[in-house]
Structure 1
Amino acid sequence: MVSKSRSEWSTILSHLVLAAVSLHAAVSSVQSSRGAAAGFLLQTFAAITMLAPGLSTHEDCLAGAWVATVIGLPLLAFDFHWVNGDRSSANLLLGGGMVLAVAGDHLGPEGCSVAGQAVLLVVAVTILIVAVFTTNTYGMWGGAMLGVAGLLSRLEVDRLLLQPKEDVCRWALAAGSWAYCRALHTQRLQWE
């Protein structure tokens, strides 16, 4: 049996936690928010496929992660905006994500990286704004953690907190997804 290094285990664990949190969030939110559930499910599939041996650099796997970012994350924010009556922002986020998903082949690797980080930050900021105005504490935490994941991904370092930078970003994304799932639940309770 091949021994895995500490950073390999960290990467596997961060993918598993993100997949588990996202799957739980998808199952929890499917009755109240089908759009957010689809976004969480896309995140789950992207995290799981990155765990398959030899697939983490495969083009189809990277395309799945791209789609999970530019379509999945706007789907998460869509319902949050829609329920609060901000239908134009909801549609703009989702429409922009769809356009980016189609244009991904024309952007190149660096362009896709920047666009993905921009989508993450825009989704985080819009969730944070709505959460502040609706006093949804979980939404504030979810938006803040998604923003942290986006900002950390822009850093020009290889390691953060003794772990690979990508793993720390996945931990922040998992925490943000959990908080955002709770925010959706809280938001639904407020509107009932």
Structure 2
Amino acid sequence: MISVSDLSSLYVQQSLLSTLLMGAPELGLVASHLSLSAVCLYSAVRTLQVHRGASAGFLLHAAASAIAIGCDLLWEETEGPSSLHSSSLWVAGIIGLPLLVFSFFWPNGDHLTANLVLGSALLLATFSGYLSQEAQMVASYFTRAGATLAILMISVFTGNSYGVLGSLALAAASFPFFLNAAEIPHFPAEMIRNCVYSVSFLMLHMALRTQISDES
């Protein structure tokens, strides 16, 4: 016969299990942000002696992911284009990715394209205060698409397999249709995106090190 204490113990265990399952998506999201921040920080340190522009680009993404944990997961969530989280993600995309593109083009001697990409990004960031929320979103999408295409193009021409894989992963994580198709119950799209971004930035870091070491 099951006693009252056994029933009470079983109820407590079920309650704890339910709490863990309900909190699993949020814990997974925190883990994905931590993983992305760690990968970007590692890539920033590893590329510091190779190319400081690339190191700065990785560092911007590491900071944006760390800020996401503080603003959206540990503190009360804030919304709107003026929030710290939205601003950090936007800056990481608008300036961080062009810095990576700059790092791919400059060592190959294409200084004109490198300066044009970085100059356009800095100009866009300077006048970001005059852009509406919709304009900022469009600018972010176009910047990511352009950076992905540029890295893919130069990686194909130079035979850099890491760059090809990294740019394809970056493209997959950047397009909304991929997130909608990849969203699985208990696994938010943002978590999947962070994991794909981690793979992408790790590949791009290896691509830069391989490209510059081959040229030297």
From the superposition, tell whether residues 54 and 102 of structure 1 become closer, same or farther in structure 2 (CA, over 3 Å).
Answer: farther
Percent identity over paired residues: 34
Listed as ranges, the gaps of 5+ residues in structure 1 are: none
1:160 counterpart residue number: 183
> Which ranges of 4 or more aligned residues in structure 1 deviate by more than 6 Å?
none
Greater Cα shift, 102-111 or 9-18: 102-111
Question: Is 1:114 aligned to residue 138 of structure 2?
Answer: yes
User: CA-to-partner distance for each residue in 1:134-178, whole Å, 9 max, x for gaps?
Assistant: 000001111111111112x35683962442222222222111100
1:30 counterpart SS class: coil
**How does the TM-score come out when normalised to structure 1?**
0.90
Q: In the alignment, does 2:78 pair up with 1:57?
A: yes
> Over alpha carbons, which structure has the higher Rg?
2
1:30 aligns with 2:53: no
- The answer (yes or no) to whether the contact 2:179–2:192 under 8 Å persists in 1 is no
Residue of structure 2 in register with 1:13 after alignment: 31
Q: How does 1:1-192 map to 2 (within 5 A)?
A: 5-52=23-70, 53-54=74-75, 57=78, 59-151=83-175, 153=176, 157=180, 160-162=183-185, 163-192=187-216
Change (3 A) 1:86 1:116: same
CA drift at 1:103: 2.9
User: Relative to 1, partners in 2 of residues 1:148 and 1:157: Cα closer, same or farther, differing over 3 Å?
Assistant: closer
Alignment size in residue pairs: 190
Alpha-carbon shift at residue 132 of structure 1 (Å): 0.3
Superposition TM-score, scaled by structure 2 size? 0.80
Contact map agreement 1:18 1:170 (CA 8 A) in 2 = yes
> What is the alpha-carbon root mean square deviation over aligned residues?
2.1
Q: Which stretch shifts more, 167-176 or 122-131?
A: 167-176
- Per mean C-alpha deviation after superposition, the further-off stretch among 21-30 and 168-177 is 168-177
Distance in 2 (alpha carbons) for counterparts of 1:166 and 1:184:
26
Q: Secondary structure at the match of 2:62?
A: helix
| Contact 1:69–1:116, Cα closer than 8 Å, also in 2 | yes
Distance 1:55 1:62 in 2: 14
Secondary structure of the 2:133 match is: helix
